[in-house]
Amino acid sequence: MNHLDLILTLTGGLAAALALGLLTRKAGLSPIVGYLLAGILVGPNTPGFVANKDLAKEMAEIGVILLMFGVGLHFHFKQLLAVKRIAIPGALVQSAVATGLSMVVMRLFGWSWAEGMVFGLAISVASTVVLTRVLAEANHLHTPVGHIAIGWLVVEDLLTVFVLVLLPAVFGPGQGGGAGGLAMALVWTTVKIAALVAFTFIGGGWVIPRMLTYIAKTGSRELFTLAVLVIALGIAVGAAKLFGVSMELGAFLAGMVVARSEFSTRAATDALPMKDAFAVLFFVSVGMLFDFRTMMDLPGLVIATVGIVMVGKPLAAVLISLVLRYPMKTALSVGAVLAQIGEFSFIVGTMGRNLGVLSEAAFNALVAAAIVSITLTPLLYRSAEPLDRRWRAWRRSRGGGNGTGGADFEDRENQGPETRHHAIIIGYGPVGQTMVRLLMDNEIEPVVIEMNLETVHKLKAAGIKAVYGDGVHPATLEAAGIGRARALILSSSGVEGMDVIREARQLNPGIQIMARTSYLREAHGLAAAGADRVFSGEGEVALSMTEALLERLNATREQIDRESERIRRDFFAVPKAPEDHAVAGG
């Protein structure tokens, strides 16, 4: 390796990714498509500049590690436990379906059952980078769908860790594949994963917060950034070297430990500024592996593999979600975002090839299927919501309700509150808690819509009706009894709040809607969407300060009221069409 080769690979790969990412974005596609095309462009199978694919792959690994650390920062262990009911059986069933279909397909193409099994295990695991990117672009990473998908992916990653340990025990030199050796490898892998989790959460949970506290007191942003990077990369490398598991899993656990400290927000904003750039190199490195001859020599195998990844896996995910009584929207979204393969697939495929189980042709088909699925997954994910709307329309036309099974999929008791005198509160933060208390004091029953499952359980235990779900989805509003509600209160809202208001207006045109926003610039949009009153944090602060100042200046009550009304008019007045419901808030 020479320094010039490193610089050329980094510069050429990122420059091509920037140019093609902009073009695909302008064309209405995900930038991921452009990054893959950039990899093909700078790869060894196209003329012109050729980047060093080994260097690109190594730099991409850094991006994957930092990405998983960032995911761990925002994914608490309680969230994983909250989705265990679907994540564990879903990942197991989907992996079994993908492996079984692959064994049949590979057998039809003349390969052995063993090769089919390894091939199936490789394509059964989704890409961490693709999944988080697709969810982030749709602003769904920290929604119930995002939590389920991430939890599902974590289970798949754990399964892959077991696979990577078991493959040498079964197919390695001198291995007879006996039951005893297989069982011993399985037990040993379980012990190592358990040891890693214990070490990270017990040892790291004690050391890391104290280390960051000490460094934060120095006041040096550079030292803090360096400390977080050392934690992320150090635990990732330690997971691989000391415990024999994936670096990605170690980085994820490190992020979860930091998330339990008071430094989680700062770590996410200050210490991970380069993770996106390095993550782009992952897609570039995948594109560099693409060989056009694969499409020409084995088109049938590539098509069959793409079919398993983008049809078989999503259908399995949708079916298991519906069997577990999750709404259709959730089932379609989870199935769509998992309809791809990526970094772990290449790791399993590479090991299978090194062990002599997986042929070069099968590995090339794996790469081709990865490129196709990574390209199409963002488009497939965007189609989930339109498909859900068509499903609900078809169900309504047949008198079958919305067909989603309800948004409160953990508990059916909240489906359609019977009371005619209730108000719906979206969000249970400080404002939501105050609203619930005031409503109960005035004998108006509150129904809370909340995406934190633990909060929902606590509300139910306290005798307060609660629905777990996202208020932007009609099924969630219907589960909360929107058709009979007297009022809808958005305790915190922004751009997505406009969609909630529009859906509520469609389901109950006469409902009174109050919305809160932090910024005045968002107030007009909320009012124009149909909110009866909009309360802006910026406006309310200006109003309170004005009234306090006038009081200190001994202004009369009439003067204070006049100035307050003028501020309300200037800050909150919203030009409205006759059909709009927007009025001055505050």
List pLDDT tens digits, range 441-481. Answer: 888 899 998 877 678 888 988 989 988 777 877 767 877 88
Is the pLDDT reported for residue 540 higher than 80? no
Q: Is 424 helix (H, G, I), strand (E, B) or coil?
A: strand
Residues 272 and 226 sit within 8 Å (Cβ to Cβ): no
Is the pLDDT reported for residue 231 higher than 60? yes
Q: How far apart are CA 14 and CA 24, in angstroms?
A: 15
* Residue indicated by tokens 């104290």: 210
Which of 117-121, 224-228, 449-453 is predicted with the least confidence, judged by mean pLDDT? Answer: 449-453
Average pLDDT over residues 110-115: 88
Q: How far apart are CA 497 and CA 483, in angstroms?
A: 18
Residues in the chain: 586
For residue 577, what pLDDT is reported? 38
Residues 14 and 281 sit within 8 Å (Cβ to Cβ): yes
Give whole-number Cα distances, 416 to 44, 53, 465, 481, in Å: 60, 57, 10, 5
For residue 406, what pLDDT is reported? 44
Average pLDDT over residues 74-93: 78
For residue 159, what pLDDT is reported? 81
For residue 56, what pLDDT is reported? 77
Average pLDDT over residues 209-229: 83
Q: Which long-range contacts (CB under 8 A, 24 or more apart) does 494-500 make?
A: 494/518, 494/522, 495/522, 495/525, 496/139, 496/472, 497/522, 497/526, 497/529, 498/525, 498/526, 498/529, 499/472, 499/529, 500/426, 500/471, 500/472
For residue 580, what pLDDT is reported? 42
Average pLDDT over residues 79-84: 73
Is the pLDDT reported for residue 407 higher than 50? no
Average pLDDT over residues 83-87: 85
For residue 317, what pLDDT is reported? 92
For residue 76, what pLDDT is reported? 60
Domains and CATH numbers, the chain: 3-387 (1.20.1530.20), 412-572 (3.40.50.720)
With a pLDDT cut of 70, the percent of the chain lying above it is 84
For residue 413, what pLDDT is reported? 34
pLDDT band at residue 495 using 50, 70 and 90 as cut-offs: low
Which of 326-330, 493-497, 535-539 is predicted with the least confidence, judged by mean pLDDT? Answer: 493-497
Is the pLDDT reported for residue 262 higher than 70? no
Residues 432 and 425 sit within 8 Å (Cβ to Cβ): yes
pLDDT band at residue 165 using 50, 70 and 90 as cut-offs: low
Is the pLDDT reported for residue 329 higher than 70? yes
Average pLDDT over residues 323-350: 86
Token pair recorded at residue 263: 């430094």
Give me the amino acid identity at 291: D
For residue 9, what pLDDT is reported? 83
For residue 169, what pLDDT is reported? 66
Is the pLDDT reported for residue 400 higher than 70? no
Residues 271 and 224 sit within 8 Å (Cβ to Cβ): yes
Q: How far apart are CA 244 and CA 237, in angstroms?
A: 10
For residue 573, what pLDDT is reported? 46
**Comparing 99 with 364, which gets the higher pLDDT?**
99
Give me the amino acid identity at 188: W
Query: Rounded to a whole number, what is the largest CA-CA distance in the chain?
Result: 95
Residues 301 and 109 sit within 8 Å (Cβ to Cβ): yes
For residue 198, what pLDDT is reported? 86
Average pLDDT over residues 332-357: 84
| CA angle in degrees (0–180, nearest 5) for 220-223-224 | 85
| CA angle in degrees (0–180, nearest 5) for 384-385-386 | 95
Average pLDDT over residues 150-174: 75
Is the pLDDT reported for residue 412 higher than 60? no
Q: How far apart are CA 126 and CA 143, in angstroms?
A: 19
Average pLDDT over residues 485-492: 88
Residues 271 and 225 sit within 8 Å (Cβ to Cβ): yes
Average pLDDT over residues 501-509: 86
Quote the mean pLDDT of the chain: 79
For residue 487, what pLDDT is reported? 92
Nearest to 341 by CA among 158, 119, 60: 119
